[in-house]
Structure 1
């Protein structure tokens, strides 16, 4: 199992290419915003190349399946059998695509973690690192679905009970208050569970343990965590404005009028706008994964700050220690898994 990050103070331990992209101290929101940009730009092959490769790898079979379905729909002989076979292929492709996308997300999170702390892993390394997160995330998703169904059933039962004739008008008011009270509860739990994916990808915990770990990392810092998530949301505003600027001329144009050249120009413009919009969305999604990963790194530092009597100094993983943390120190807390400060 891989031990990382390396001790950058040891000769030859730092891979060529650069140092940490975040300062070696507790991070402010400005550090996270700018550090996320630096992290993505420090390893474009990982953060831009990997999504591009995955997009191409998924687009080719998708186009083939669509073409087969279209050709089958136009055929008259044995169409039912072929449609059934294509349906099975689509289901298989859907599961394969879900696996690839989850693995890519895990690779991007681990890649952001390693690059931010000073490593420059290869594309193949982070792709291998992302393998362990897939099945954990699937199990976690099943747990969430079961919990969601249980909560929905309980909510419907409570609302029906409060809104019954026996409960009367007071019951209806109580039911309305209960439903409105679920909104802040939803936001509360969403913020508390924001670190589930980084924990699964980096700490390699079990799905159930990742829930408790995220709750521990956000304990006592709900408002700070919420504010940082809100900042990430505010960063979407210029992205949406840019997308609107791309598509606004197309919405004003009429593709059914004019000569053939005008319609062709409209089609080319629509295609270019769609491609740019897709690329921009992917880049911002990658930035979002990186942003949350840096939030996780800071949460780890804040978790250890009281134990070390102040802002922690990143310490390397020791020889023989398991990925990604070393053995607990005298205080019982694992040393922070980062490189030492660069000179």
Structure 2
């Protein structure tokens, strides 16, 4: 019979192979009438001859040395008889709760001093059991706080390199002033508007691409750090890079494939409405395009959440792109709303914290650029170097916060789903060197 929390181990027979009677006491063996020709007096019994009915007797007085205590009567919810003080769940002896976790026949009984099961093993930033929402968020923050040198070092390095590239491109190559003037000109021709719009989209796409590349690198490195933090083991930046570098090409492919899938789905959804509008029915085509786009957006969101755990699956399980997407879909199946809610909550928290840092720097940058905040917002011109540098500093600080939270929550959510579905906590306990961690460990969840 497999031991589970809330159930005692099967009881053992009393010493010397004697079986207990119905009252729960063991009769001493009969003494021979004549041993060596002399009559020996019968040793006095430590038990009263008048025993109370079964199930109502209290704990006996302390036993003499070498004498086994009588087993308690069975009670509901227990796997068998077990003497108090024998090291089980309750009783006077060592066990999970000693006197505080009493059971039938124990000193505290069913209703006395119920303390619950012991806490799960916690070798690192999370306990090894199914996690609640708060524990996932706290684990991401604890990783950043405990291993701050490595986490902030990775985030700072990636953010600085990314922002330097963006500032140089925006200041030297991507000059949007001409395109902005054309877009604001009411007399511009359709060809000029198309070229200006294309240039603007190109420059914005380049900036987004650079930021995406930095996010991929930071996610890969922080995934390694968070997975070690679960085991209570630290990792240096060099070790994290050594672990993540072979997986980066596949992570790039996965990160670019998912947005392409979303864009393709939305394009397919809006295409019928666009065709109807081109055919001559503009109002009906616009309505159909809007409805098709909304429906396709819901489908794309559903797929993105199903594949949201593909990145840690690719990094930690060393899977291919398609296999990691399949693994993510398997782990998310049946928990879509929970995964969506936790990811959305983590994104909102990270963006709010980052905005608290970035917005003041943007205001200061606008004030220092010469035209002030209102002048910059109304001019529509290309930002100067002062604005780019000051706002870039704010973006670096914001990225140092968002990178660890986003990557940490995703990795811990992946580990939590594997604990719930595949009992990953057993493997984690063995990897962390936790002794005697097995089937009797509690697997309760304080929240969902």
- Kindly indicate whether the alpha-carbon contact (under 8 Å) linking 1:109 and 1:198 is maintained by their aligned counterparts in 2: yes
Q: Does 1:137 align with 2:137?
A: no
SS of alignment partner, residue 324 of structure 2: helix
The 8 Å contact of residues 128 and 429 in structure 2, kept in 1 or not, is answered as no
CA–CA distance in 1 between the matches of 2:300 and 2:434? 39
1:340 aligns to 2:434 (yes or no): yes
Give the aligned partner of residue 332 of structure 1.
none
TM-score (norm 1): 0.63
- d(CA) in 2 for partners of 1:142 and 1:98? 9
Deviates more, 1:200-209 or 1:146-155: 146-155
The 1:247/1:60 distance shift into structure 2, 3 A limit, reads closer
1:237 aligns with 2:352: yes
Q: Distance in 1 between matches of 2:371 and 2:282?
A: 58
Q: Does 1:35 align with 2:139?
A: yes
Question: How many residue pairs end up in the alignment?
Answer: 269
Structure 2: gaps of 5 or more residues: 1-121, 174-208, 373-384, 438-448
Distance in 2, matches of 1:111 and 1:270, equals: 32
C-alpha contact 1:315 1:339 (8 A) present in aligned 2: no
Between the aligned partners of 1:100 and 1:206, the Cα distance in structure 2 is: 21
Distance of 1:121 and 1:19 partners within structure 2:
15
Q: Deviations over 1:64-95 (max 9, x none)?
A: 999999xxxxxxxxxxxxxxxxxxxxxxxxx9
Task: State the Cα deviation string for residues 277-316 of structure 1 (Å, max 9, x = none).
Answer: 42232222222111111111111111125xxxxxx64324
Equivalent in 289, 294, 303 of residue 407 of structure 2: 289
For the 8 Å contact 2:266–2:293, the answer to whether it is kept is: no
Name 2:426's counterpart in structure 1.
Answer: 314
2:190 match: none
Larger radius of gyration: 2
Alignment RMSD, CA only? Answer: 4.3
Structure 1 residue 188, shift from structure 2 partner: 1.4
- Give the structure 2 partner of residue 221 of structure 1: 335
More helix by share: 1
Cα separation, partners in 2 of 1:57 and 1:153, compared to 1, 3 Å? closer
1:184 to partner: Cα distance:
1.9
1:137-184 Cα distance to aligned partner (Å, 9 max, x none): 233355446645654553354224555759998776555432221232
Aligned to 1:205: 319
Q: 1:186 to 1:142 in 2, by over 3 A?
A: closer
SS state at 2:426 partner: coil
1:260 aligns with: none
1 or 2 for the larger relative contact order (CA 8 Å, sep ≥6)? Answer: 1
Distance 1:191 1:339, change over 3 A: farther
**Matched residue, 1:72:** none
The answer on 1:23 being equivalent to 2:127 is yes
CA distance in 2, matches of 1:272, 1:340: 49
String of CA shifts for 1:262-289, please: whole Å, max 9, x gaps: xxxxx99996664244223222222211
TM-score, normalised to structure 2's length? 0.50
Q: For residue 130 of structure 1, report the CA deviation from its aligned partner.
A: 0.7
